[in-house]
Structure formats: C-alpha cells, structure tokens
Amino acid sequence: MDAILFFLFATITVICAINMVLQRHPISSALSLIGVMGSLAVLYLLLGGEFIAMAQLIVYSGAIMVLFLFVIMLLNSGAEPKRSRHKILLFLGAPLLVILLGVIGYFIQGQIPAQEMVKFGSWESGPGKPAFGSPQNVGMSLFTSYLLPFEITSVLILIAILGAIVLARKEID
Amino acid sequence: MDFMILSLIKLGLVLFIFMTALAYIQWIERKVIAHVQLRVGPKRVGPHGLLQPLADVIKLITKEGMVPSHVHPVFYYLAPFVAVFFALIPISFIPFGQANVKIPFTDITTNMELTDLNIGLLLILGLSGMGVYGIALAGWASNNKYSLIGGLRSSAQMISYELPMALALVSPLLMLNTVSLRELVNGQEGFYFNVIPRWTIFLMPAPQIFSFIIFMIAGFAETNRVPFDLPEAENELVAGFHVEYASMKFAAFFMAEYANMVTVCSVATLLFLGGWHPIVVPGIGNWIPALVHIGGGAICLYHGLVQPARKWDNITLPVFGVAFIGAGLLFAIPIVQELLAPVFWFTAKLLILLFVFIWVRATLPRFRYDQLMRFAWLFMFPLALVNLLITGLLVAATTN
Amino acid sequence: MLPLPPGVPTAVPVTYYLILSAILFVIGGAGFLYRKNIITVFMSIELMLNAVNLSFVAFAYKFNKADGHIYSFFVMVVAAAEAAVGLAIILTVFKNRQTLEIDDIDSMKL
C-alpha cells in the first residue's frame, strides 16, 4: 500500500512539475505547482511528517500560491510568447540537466543504503509518547533547541512585510 | 462487523443527511430572510414550501448548461469541481458524537464520526484554505472583467482573513493542548459549580469569548457571506465570480458555499462551544432534547388547531406537531437518549450558529472593499494577537 | 487493507524519496533556466525549495528525528517572506515597464 501511494503521488508530482515548466501561461504553471505541493504533502504524510504536511498545505498551497495566483490575475499579462532563437540552448542545456540528475542520483545511491524501507506507521511509539513528526514533538523542538532561529525568522518576516509595503506603496504616490 | 462495511454505511448515512441538510439550509435561509423582511418566502411547492429544495435541484439539473464562447475551457470546467471538492472533504473529519458508542441490539461499537485524525483541525484549516482556488479560477477562467475582479477580491480577502482566523484558533489550542478535534471536545467536558459548562468560551483561566467572535467574523469572510460577500457583490459586479456559470456548475458553487458554512460552524461548535456536551448538567440535560421536540410539537399543534393563520395550516401544522412529539418521545427512551443526545446537542449548536449566519445576512449591509481590508488588518488582526498574548500569559501563569 | 499480489512491493526505500527530490530539483532548475516569464521563474525557485524540503523530510524519517521537519519549516517561512517581497518587486517592475519578460528588463534606468 505504501509503495502504491508513493508511486501514485510521485508520478503526479513529476507530471505536475514537468507541466509547470512546459506550460506557456503563468496560471497553468501556478496550478501545476499547486498540484506538486499537494502531492508533496501526501508524501510527507507517508514519511511521518504530520505537522510539516499540514504546514505545506496551509502555508504553501493555502497562502503563498494564492498570493502568486493573485499577482498573476492582477497583472493578467497573458501567455508567454514563443521564442525560436533559444532552441539551440535547449539542446545544449537538456543533457547538462540530465547529467546533473545523474550525479545527484549517483551520490544518493552511494551514500544511503537502499535497504532501509519506509514503513508507514513505524513512528508510532505508543500512547503518551508523540511520534517524531507530530505537532507536539515538532513544537517542542521548535521552541527549545531551535528557539533562536525561530526568533530570527520572525524578524526576517517583519523585514519582509516592511519591504513589501515599501515596494508596493512607492507606485501609489 | 467488518471495518470497511461499517465505514461505508456511516459514509452513506452522513452523505445522505449532509446533502439533504445542504438543500434544506437554503430553504431555511429563504424562509428566515423572508420572515425578517415581513414576507412569506417559498410557499407554493409542498406544505410551507418544504419541497422547494427538491424543485430547485430538479430545475438546476435539467437546465441547459450554457458555456460562453470566450472562456478558458479547462479552468472553466475545473473551477466548480475544485470548489465543491475542498468544501465537502472537511466534513469527513468532523466528529459529531461520542467515541465508542454501542449501537443497540448489536455488539458493534463505533465512533460518531467518519475518520479520527490526530491533526484534524490543521487539515480542516489547510483544506478550507484551498477552497479559494475554485473561486479565483472561476473568476479568471470566465474571461470577464466582473468575474476577474470577483476572483481577485476573493483571493485577497481569503489571505487577509486567514490570519485572524488562525490566530483565533490558536488560543483554544493553547488551553486544551491538542489539535485532535475529538480530544479538543473531550477537554471541554464538565461544569463549573454545576452550572457553567466548561466550554472554551467559559474555560478558566482565559475565557475565549473574543477569539470566538473573531473566528466567527473571519468565518463570514472565508465563506464569502454577507457582509463580506464582495466577490459576488451583485450590485457592483453583477454576480462576481459566477456570472458565466449556469445549471449544475452554478449549483456546485452554491453547494460549496453552504458546505463551507457548515464546516465553519462545526469547527466553531467543536472548538468554542463544547461540541456535543450538553449546556446543563447531564441529569436534567438528558431530558432537554425530548422537551425541546415536544415543545416544538405543541407550538405546531396550537397554531394548527387553535389559531390557523393561513389556509392549509389546520392540516399541515398538526402533522408536523405530531411528528415532532413523536421525535420527542423517541428521545425519552433511555437507549436512544444515550445514543442520540450528543448528536442532538452538536446539531443544535450547529444550527444556532447557522441561524446567526442567516440572521446577519438579513440585517447587515455589505462592507466596502477598503473597509473590509482595514477591518481585517487594523482591527481583527491586532485584537486576535492581543487575545493570544493574554491567553498565553494566563496559561503560562496557571500551569507549572 | 487490500490484499496485494505477491510480486508488488509493499514499501519503498528512503532512497526513492531522495531520487524524487533530485528529479524535482532538476525540473525546477530547468524551469529557472529556460523560462522567460519572471513569475514562472519565481515558481521554479519555489519548486526547487519544495524538492529540498522533500529530502529534508526523508532524512528526518531516516534518522527518526524532528530536526528535518524543522529545517523544512524554516524553508517554508523563508519562502513565504521571499514570495511577499518578490511579488512586490514583480508588481513594481510590471508597473514601471509593462512587461514580465526577463529579456526585456535589461536596462538599469527607465
């Protein structure tokens, strides 16, 4: 069952990702990206990341992509025009990307033994002791061992809000 | 019994009741708004217009599905599906009664819900956030400036109101220390001094009245209901994002809106109003469902037999009255009481909140768009933040 | 649980998740390099971040610790901040130059 779910959602993810790159219209790309993010959330669940899967849904698909969609709809710039002069680059670049993938894959195969199976539910350790990906456990580490990065992130977000407001305000006056 | 078969039976039951309820919420809405505005409301189809939803469904199914020629076809067809999909899924995580209920005359025990998730609340939050894509896509795919503005407004409004909503949800989570909906409700059991229920809105050390109000207001915005129905404001945008939709595709948006309303009200009930726990101590509380039904039946009988206001009332109202009294007597049987009283309480709270939604629609005018944004960012967001801060301080002070 | 025929694998190794992450990363890189629309380029970056997140979560499973989840949580937060600022920049660029093509935005001054 795990394997079926993995292969199903891995296929959806890859198809959506390729579709995102190939589509000419930004809206189609954005929707494909939402598909990627949704199926990645399912893969996170298969890996025991309960909290992170929900954060993926809420933050990525629920907020960031809505923002993207909003901007695309606001600008309404239409499809990207076809350009023929870059064709040669496509033929030169694609093999390089395949080589990059091959190198990454080689290192992954070399570094990690393939025997370790992902068993769904293997993180359940009985009542009273939360699984490693549960909201309780993630929250506990987030507010104890990772407190300083967490606080710094909040400052980063504050700066980002200010930056966005400054950038967006400039064109009003 | 096999888990699979039991789940399928429960699924069928919940689906049937929920779909019927969706149709009848619309009937209730039309009736209530009509009575608020001193009209009668739907009355022709069936007694008191009770068959009106059926007539509407038949009309919407058999209507010609006209597709304008200038739309983006793929997204145009996709949008209603997206809207309905993300509106209906959250219902399957909502518990509506106690766990491990023994069904009488059999040895089956089951939970009063479809699935129990330990991250139920987060999943509902995530999925309801996805619902905006249906509206935004519909607005964009219709290729029409009114629709586009409707879709834009909807997405901006959704992002803005999700913040106070999430912040309002965090405070009860802080106090009850879980994100599983069932455990959240279990944490609200009991009474203070045998009178005040320990619901989150009364729970010491930080009663969550403000976050309940913030959550409900944000819920109005998330479901695009009056006074925040800017995406479909009919006097500026014709009908907003669904101008170009007809027949079942239009019905899908309609259904999604009502399903979202039910989800928001259910979450509010579970998180703030104690879910299926009764409002008074169980000794008396067990008899309230029966009394409410019998009382309703008596009112129907009085208006039917003694004071019939309209032509057919002396026939229709007594029938309803007898039916209500029968239901009330059913609730007086101890076995049924044990089984259905929690469901009754949950449904009663849910219906009261839904009534608030309808009531607000009947009374409040629509916000202007800048007012809507200012309200979210300058009032709701700081209020939710301060509420969370105070709750956090009080919880930290009282726990060791 | 549905019964499966004997040949079908019931689980997959952690490596598969990492390979999937690598594939997504490369696709994101391809989009980043090939596409000419700023918004699509931006979305390709998001795809690459997502790919990295997947490998963080896979490693979190492998080492049975929540640390990987926290890293990907931080990646999400940073991506949110980045999206806010980046989209504001895109809006400003579009207001000033009426185009979203990267190749057309090649002068320092208007």
Q: HEC states along chain B? A: CCHHHHHHHHHHHHHHHHHHHHHHHHHHHHHHHHHHCCCCCCCCCCHHHCCHHHHHHHHHHHCCCCCCCCCCHHHHHHHHHHHHHHHHHHHHHCCCCCCCEECCCCCCEECCCCCCCCCHHHHHHHHHHHCHHHHHHHHHHCCCHHHHHHHHHHHHHHHHHHHHHHHHHHHHHHHHCCCCHHHHHHCCCCEECCCEECCCCCCCCCCCHHHHHHHHHHHHHHCCCCCCCHHHCHHHHCCHHHCCCCHHHHHHHHHHHHHHHHHHHHHHHHHHCCCCCCCCCHHHHCCHHHHHHHHHHHHHHHHHHHCCCCCCHHHHHHHHHHHHHHHHHHHHCHHHHHHHHHHHHHHHHHHHHHHHHHHHHHHCCCCCHHHHHHHHHHHHHHHHHHHHHHHHHHHHHHCC
| B119, B155, B179 ranked by CB distance to A70: nearest | B155
User: What is the overall mean pLDDT for chain B?
Assistant: 84
The pTM (predicted TM-score) of the whole model is 0.86
* Interface touch A141/C67, C-beta < 8 Å: yes
Number of domains in chain B: 2
CA angle B150, A63, A17 (to 5 degrees): 100
pLDDT tens sequence across B176-214 = 888 888 888 888 887 887 778 888 888 778 788 888 899
Domain limits at C94?
14-102
- CB–CB of B136 and A27 under 8 A? no
pLDDT at res. A83: 64
Please list, in sequence order, all residues whose beta carbon lies within 8 angstroms of the beta carbon of residue A33, skipping any fewer than 6 positions away: A16, A20, A65, A68, C43, C46, C47
pLDDT at residue number B386 = 92
How do the domains of chain A map onto residue ranges?
130-173
* Per-residue pLDDT tens digits for B154-165: 888 888 888 888
- Nearest-Cα distance to chain B for A110, in Å, is 36
Q: Is the pLDDT of residue B35 over 60?
A: yes
Decide if B119 and A61 are in contact by the 8 Å CB cutoff: no
Beta-carbon count within 10 A of B84 CB = 20
Q: In chain A, whose CA is at the least distance from the CA of B138?
A: A73
Share of chain B above pLDDT 70, in %: 100
The verdict on A55 touching C (C-beta cutoff 8 Å) is: yes
Same-domain pairing of B28 and B132: no
Residue C60, in any domain of the structure? yes
Q: Report the CATH number at residue C57.
A: 1.10.287.3510
- Say if residue B309 is exposed, middle or buried (CB neighbours under 10 Å; 0-12, 13-18, 19+): exposed
Name the amino acid, one letter, at A79. A
At a CB cut-off of 8 Å and minimum separation 6, what does B271 contact? B121, B169, B172, B184, B200, B215
Contact A58 B148 (CB under 8 A): no
Quick check: A52 and C79 CB within 8 A? no
Q: Let me know if residue C61 belongs to a domain.
A: yes
Looking at chain A, which subunits does it touch, using at least 3 CB pairs closer than 8 Å as the criterion?
B, C
A54, A62, A67 ranked by CB distance to B130: nearest: A62
Q: Looking at chain C from residue 28 to 57, which residues have their Cβ under 8 Å from any Cβ of chain A?
A: 28-31, 33-37, 39-40, 42-44, 46-47, 50, 53-54, 57
Q: Considering only CB atoms, which chain C residues are within 8 Å of A149?
A: 74
Show residues of chain B in contact with A31, CB under 8 Å: 75, 133, 137
CA distance C99 to C108: 15
pLDDT above 70 for C92: yes
Instruction: Please report residues of C whose CB lies closer than 8 A to that of A43.
Output: 17, 20, 54, 57
pLDDT in tens, B64-99: 878 888 888 888 888 888 888 888 888 888 888 777
Same domain, B176 and B44: no
Residue C30 lies in a domain: yes
pLDDT value, residue A22: 85
Number of domains in chain C: 1
Kindly report the number of other CB atoms within 10 A of residue B169's CB atom: 26
Q: Which residue has the tokens 């629709």?
A: B147
CA distance, residue C102 to nearest chain A CA (Å): 11
Residue pLDDT, tens place only, B312-325: 777 778 888 888 88
C-alpha R_g of chain C: 19
CA-based nearest residue to A135, from C69, B163, B169, B385: C69
Q: Within a domain: residue C52?
A: yes
Q: What pLDDT is attached to residue A36? A: 92
Q: Are B74 and B116 within one domain?
A: yes
Q: Quote the minimal CA–CA distance from A71 to chain C in Å.
A: 7
User: B217-253, pLDDT tens digit by residue?
Assistant: 988 888 888 788 877 777 777 777 777 887 788 888 8
**Which domain covers residue B43, as residue numbers?**
1-56
- Are B9 and B149 found together in one domain? no
Chain B residues with CB-CB distance to A66 below 8 A: 129, 132-133, 136, 155, 158-159
> Which chain A residues touch B if contact means CB-CB below 8 Å?
27, 31, 34, 38, 41, 50-51, 54, 57-58, 61-63, 66-67, 69-70, 73-74, 76, 134-135
Asked if B151 has any chain A CB less than 8 Å from its own CB, the reply is yes
Query: Does residue B256 come out as left (phi exceeding 0), alpha (psi in the -120 to 50 range) or beta?
Result: alpha
C56: in domain: yes
**Window from B270-279, C36-45, C96-105 with minimum mean pLDDT:** C96-105
Please check whether residue C40 lies inside any domain of the structure: yes
Q: Are strands B109-110 and B101-102 parallel, antiparallel or unpaired?
A: antiparallel
Per-residue pLDDT of chain A (173 residues; tens, 9 = 90+): 778 888 889 999 999 998 988 888 888 888 899 999 999 999 998 888 888 888 888 888 888 888 888 888 888 777 766 665 566 767 777 788 888 888 888 887 777 766 677 777 676 666 666 777 788 888 888 888 889 989 999 999 999 988 888 887 755 55
Q: Are residues B196 and B150 in the same domain?
A: yes
Q: Name the band, by pLDDT with cuts 50, 70 and 90, for residue C3.
A: low
Burial class (CB in 10 A: 0-12, 13-18, 19+), B52: buried
Cα distance between residue A34 and residue A40, in whole Å: 10
